[in-house]
Structure 1
């Protein structure tokens, strides 16, 4: 992130020592260390959350693709069943008509 070498860090320390004095410098160092730790924790949490969100988006995409595939297969199966049912229904209707006709023809009532 920041390219701070040892010499730059030493220069900052010397300037802080001159400006703040030896009494306030340890307190400042603790405060800066605490802020730095909090920033690291925040960045780690942010990275974890972004990774989790990325995985969630990928899983959601996979689920949508699976649903689309299942829907297509269901449509194909439905079309196949309907294709097979049409001749069967016609045969049933023809048989029904024949039975009704035979029933009329063999009916002994005048």
Structure 2
């Protein structure tokens, strides 16, 4: 802004006193002061508005960057999901093939039937003739 030193201010006051006279000088000073206040207030409001616009633009820029980062993370998550899906497909296919082969080879498994007579663990014996429970004497319940 305009720099006015004390010497320049005194010179302006003397010129105004000569031009306006002592009767009109106080009114002119009040008017000049009011005009100067209006200019400063106007300048401050313009400056504040520019700062607000800059802040809004900064927020918009940050939002755009955050959106780009979110898109990148979403793309990475999609790629990982595709890899997992491919891995499960690669594992599922051989398992399904093996299950299908087992069902076709064993009719009991294909029908999901349980054995006709369940084995009592106390009565089962190992191929060597020993009891399967690990006891050598008969079990007493």
Whether 2:4 is the aligned partner of 1:4: answer yes
TM-score normalized by the length of structure 1: 0.76
| In structure 2, distance between residues paired with 1:84 and 1:7 | 82
| In structure 2, distance between residues paired with 1:45 and 1:37 | 12
Q: Which runs of 5+ in 2 are unaligned?
A: 108-141
RMSD: 2.3
**SS of structure 1 residue aligned to 2:21:** helix
Q: Which has the higher helix share?
A: 1
Higher relative contact order (CA 8 A, sep 6+): 1
| Aligned positions, number | 101
| In structure 2, distance between residues paired with 1:64 and 1:77 | 20
Computing the radius of gyration from Cα coordinates, the structure with the larger value is 2
Whether 2:96 is the aligned partner of 1:95: answer yes
| In structure 1, distance between residues paired with 2:85 and 2:38 | 69
